Structure 1
Amino acid sequence: MGKSKELVETVAKVAAAATGATVADSIDFKPLVKEAQKSLKRQPGSDLSQDQDLRAMAQAAQTLATSLAPIRNAYGTGHGRARIPDVVEEMATLCLESALVWCRWALRRLGHLLADYPNDLIAAVQTGTSRTALKKKFDAAALAQQPVEVQRRIGVVFGQQSAGGFGNATEVGVEPAVEGGRDDYPIDYRLGLLEGMLLTAGGAIGLTDSYAPWFVSLLASLPEPAATDLLEHLRQDVIDAPWIGTWRRSKDVTPVNVVAALREEGTRLPAGYADAFDDLCSELLRTAGADDQSADE
């Protein structure tokens, strides 16, 4: 039990140091583990991922780890004792397994963080890499095996580049996801595509009417809870966001036309999406300073 606690403490210090967190040498065990867990949090989102259940599981692993300290103090090595404490095998086994649950999670998480897998692919799609080379990098990224926040981050960049008019991003990362093969294009990647298609890297509304069919097709491919959550998230993001004036400096962007195209395509969406989708469309019009006539039509 003493070694289990020491293992968690070592991994926590490694994680904190590797991610640049500052922890005092004298920090207590529980705050140390919490600081390490905090340092392993990654964007996007305010926690470990966008998935509530995954966050709960990670938090549960932290609770298991921090529970080792009082048990070790009462029963484990590291303290002089007048008598040998009565330790049953079940107690020792449970402490070891609890330590390993958190340590394995933390080290795998740290590996993804330090390797920063998406950077090479993201740099490639942003710098005009040839279609063949981009496809090779995309396939090598093994998207379905990446953490969900990495999937989403890659999706955002591909969506932004595609909506911005870069054909390689469209042909490699967007069109195949729209047309099918959903096992190869996970939900969080598609969520990222939708976010990137709507909002530019600078936070402007960059969707054009020609992209409305793809936007709606991707939205329709999502399970209802994920789709409605995303629509509300996007509605909040577009509040007070500016619209782009032109597409690739050659085509004027008219917000009213974009929203009209979205609503026309939106008739293909399941009924459960309707309210959240209409709220987003109405906010897009309001942001553009246009009147929303949909309620009268």
Structure 2
Amino acid sequence: MVKRAHEILAKQPGNDLTRVNDFAHIASQSSKIARKLGNIRNQFGGGHGRAHMPDIRDEMVDLALDGGLIWTRWALRRLGLFSEGRPKDLIRDLVEEPATFRSGDLRRRLEAANLPDLEPHHQRELGIAVGQRVMRQTFVVRWDGLDPCLESDDLTVWPADYRIGLLHGLWFAPDDQPTMTPWLLRKGIEVIDPIPDASEELEEQVKLACRSTQFFPPDTDLKDREGTVKWLENHITDRPASERPALTLMLQYLTDAPPPVVPHN
């Protein structure tokens, strides 16, 4: 159990944690000490049906305690970050049972989640949750979970599935009803720009959006709407040919009356 726990916690990222070889070696050696405590308990512990208590010296107790505490303290320092980064807990705090986020909280928890190494479905689920919290105008979540992604083309730090999840979260509520505004439309498309070809995912999201009878809220400023149409017209030519049908459908929906009929799959 100690060995497996150490393997997991040793990979835990965190701003105040280190993976420098010499220090990692110290932690690894301390885990070996902790594993030895099982043998010591079997040889010298009570409750094993012994007729006589083993001869236990004070130094034996001190060594066992000190050795075990080194690894235990190391593990506990990392365990908090490990818990903070669990995808289910983070999604719960973002949208299911919204918790208060302060500046830097989400950045720390995304780092603790080890976003690049998560399963793709967890990356996407986290992206959706962050996007939906941004859609609710939680600015600190936007600053930590959306803006750095928009500013970066790195698909390792900000994986494709996280970006696609962000697009969905920015555009749709948890019940898949569109929450589109001109700003959310732009940011949703911009966040997937570094993905070489997101045609399948983009088509799915656009068709889902176009099933709504109302794309933007009725009080949307006309200039914002017109500006978004012009921006989209220019943006279509910058994207791969495979994505253009979906973007063209969205443009048609924004400019035509009545909107095009989108068949259900």
Pairs within 5 Å for 1:157-236 = 157-180=129-152, 181-224=154-197, 227-236=198-207
RMSD of aligned C-alpha atoms? Answer: 3.3
| 1:67-104 Cα distance to aligned partner (Å, 9 max, x none) | xxxxxxxxxxxxxxxxxxxxxxxxxxxxxxxxxxxxxx
The corresponding residue for 1:279 is 249
Return the index of the structure with the highest Cα Rg. Answer: 2
SS at match of 1:150: helix
Contact 1:155 1:193 in 2 (8 A): yes
Shift of 1:155: 0.5
Residue 130 and residue 244 in structure 1: after superposition, are their counterparts in 2 closer, same or farther (change >3 A)? farther
Rounded to whole Å, the distance in 2 between the matches of 1:183 and 1:290 is 38
How many Å separate the matches in 2 of 1:253 and 1:205? 18
Farther-moved stretch of structure 1 (268-277 vs 186-195): 268-277
- What is the alpha-carbon distance in structure 2 between the residues aligned to residue 206 and residue 147 of structure 1? 27
1:39 match = none
Distance change >3 Å, CA 140–CA 167, structure 1 → 2: same
Q: How does 1:115-126 map to 2 (within 5 A)?
A: 117-126=86-95
| Cα drift, residue 267 of structure 1 | 3.9
> Greater shift after overlay, 238-247 or 128-137?
238-247
> How far off is 1:283 after superposition?
4.5
Cα deviation, residue 211, structure 1: 3.2
After superposition, the Cα gap between the structure-2 partners of 1:195 and 1:124, relative to the gap in structure 1 and judged at 3 Å, is same
Alignment deviations for residues 191-229 of structure 1 (CA, whole Å, 9 cap, x no partner): 1111111212232222221234422322321121xx110
* Mapping for residues 80-91 of structure 1, pairs under 5 Å: none
Distance 1:175 1:252 in 2: 23
CA contact (8 A) 1:156 1:196 kept: yes
TM-score w.r.t. the length of structure 1 is 0.49
Question: How far did 1:263 drift?
Answer: 3.2
Amino acid of the structure 2 residue aligned with 1:270: P
Distance 1:211 1:240, change over 3 A: closer
Instruction: Report the CA distance between 1:170 and its aligned residue.
Output: 1.1
Residues 155 and 192 in structure 1, CA contact (< 8 A), matched pair in contact too: yes
Query: Structure 2: how far apart are the matches of 1:281 and 1:164?
Result: 25
Per the TM alignment, residue 167 of structure 1 is displaced from its structure 2 partner at its CA by: 1.0
Which whole-Å CA distance do the structure 2 matches of 1:204 and 1:260 have between them?
25
Provide the rounded CA distance (Å) in 2 between the counterparts of 1:203 and 1:289.
22
Report the AA paired with residue 190 of structure 2: S
- CA gap of 1:262–1:159, structure 2 versus 1, over 3 A, is farther
1:260, CA displacement in angstroms?
Answer: 4.7
Structure 2 CA distance, aligned partners of 1:276 and 1:211? Answer: 17
Query: Kindly tell me: are residues 279 and 148 of structure 1, through their superposed partners in 2, closer, same or farther at Cα, counting changes over 3 Å?
Result: same
Cα offset for 1:284?
Answer: 5.8
SS of the residue aligned with 1:207? coil
Change (3 A) 1:279 1:291: closer
- 1:257-289 deviations in Å (ceiling 9; x for gaps): 454543344343234422222123334667x84
Structure-2 separation of matches of 1:291 and 1:150: 34
**What is the total number of aligned residue pairs between the two structures?**
172
* Identical positions, percent: 22
**1:241 aligned residue:** 212
* Residues 192/236 of structure 1: CA separation in 2 closer, same or farther (3 Å cut): same
TM-score where L is the length of structure 2: 0.54
1:238-261 Cα offsets, whole Å, 9 max, x none, are 2433547659xxx63769545454
CA contact (8 A) 1:204 1:243 kept: no
Deviation of the 1:189 alpha carbon: 0.7
Gaps of 5+ in 2: 1-84
* Residue 112 (structure 2) aligned to one of 132, 137, 140: 140
Amino acid at match of 2:110: F
Q: In 1, distance between residues paired with 2:260 and 2:161?
A: 33
Q: Is 2:167–2:188's contact at 8 Å kept on the other side of the alignment? A: yes
In structure 1, stretches of 5+ residues that fail to align are 1-115, 293-297
| C-alpha distance in 1 between matches for 2:126 and 2:112 | 13
1:88-123 residue CA offsets vs partner (Å, 9 max, x unmatched): xxxxxxxxxxxxxxxxxxxxxxxxxxxx93122123
Structure 1 residue aligned with 2:41: none
